Structures are given as C-alpha cells and as structure tokens.
Amino acid sequence: MEDHQSQPWLHIVLYRPEIPYNAGNAGRTCVALGAKLWMVRPLGFTIDSKHIRRAGLDYWKHLDYQVVDDWPQLCSLLPPERMWFFTKRAQRPHIQAQFARGDVLVFGSESSGLPEEILSTSPAHCLRLPMRPVVRSLNLAVSVGVAAYEAWRQLGGTSEIR
C-alpha cells in the first residue's frame, strides 16, 4: 500500500525554464501546496542564482525539487500516463481535466512552450488556460499557480494545508 504522506500529492514540471523569477515563483507555489517541483535541463539560470532565491524568498529551503538532465530521464522517474501538458495550442480547458493524487502538471519554456514531440504523445492530456485572443500566453509562474490550485480544489482542498 502506498504511503501518501511520503509521496508528493502533485508534481509540477518546468521543461527547460529560462527565467529564474518564474522558477522561483513556481517553487513558492509548490511549497505553499506541498507539491514537488521538477526542472528539465537546460535551465536558463543556475539554481544558486540570487534571482531564483529572491523570487522564492526564504521558502526555497522548504522546496522539494529535483533537476533532471532531459525528458527521457524525467519519464523514467515519473509516470507518463499521469502527465497533463499545458499548452496554448490545446482545445480542452484545464477545468475539464479530472486531476488525481500523484498527477504531473507539465509546463514548457517561456519562449517556446512544449515541443510537439512531447505534446503528440498524449493529445487527450493537453490542456489550455482560458485567455482572450489578444494575449499570446500567460506568465509561466501564473500558469503553474492557476493549474496547481485547480488540482488542489478538485482533490478536496481546504483553506488549510498541512
């Protein structure tokens, strides 16, 4: 029987993130919700960068995170069938997904998003966040927050997280 206390209830993946402030803010969201942050290299910054620490404030020391070298390595550590891919090219809104404990929310880089070779592996698991056509995309950290809190809400989130 799986011990839910020792496993993260949610995994957040940043695929090739470029901006340290976004990664820092995504990390802060993960700490707030008790999710694990994964980052897939190459990164556009170093983990010990003052920018990532500034965005994550003093919460970074509480963050459960792991950096992997590439997409195949990530897929060897997390179940691909539990992955949800966030992309502006998806037709399905994020609120139509049925999130489950242990799911993996995957976000692409700020400049190019997720590559087609990743998105094409599971078109039914591609999700979009609603926005007006005048906006190309949402900020990466904002997207992580919206998606993670929707998963939290669906899984019976309360006002207090322990």
Tens digit of pLDDT for each residue in 41-72? Answer: 999 988 876 766 666 557 788 999 999 999 99
Sequential DSSP letters for 113-161: BS-HHHHTT-GGGEEB----TT-S---HHHHHHHHHHHHHHHTT--S--
Q: What is the mean pLDDT of residues 91-107?
A: 96
Supply the pLDDT for residue 2.
40
The two structure tokens encoding residue 69: 């070298």
Taking alpha carbons only, the member of 128, 31, 24, 29 closest to residue 86 is 128
SS3 of residue 54 by DSSP? helix
Mean pLDDT estimate for the chain: 90
Q: What is the CA radius of gyration of the chain?
A: 15
Q: What are the counts of helices (DSSP H) followed by strands (DSSP E) for the chain?
A: 5, 6
> Looking at residue 9, what DSSP letter applies?
S
- The first and second tokens of residue 81, run together, are 């069938």
Q: Do the beta carbons of residue 47 and residue 24 sit within 8 Å?
A: no
Please compute the mean of the pLDDT values over residues 2-22 and round it to a whole number: 84
∠ CA 120-149-16, rounded to 5°: 45
- pLDDT winner (highest mean) among 6-10, 58-62, 105-109: 105-109
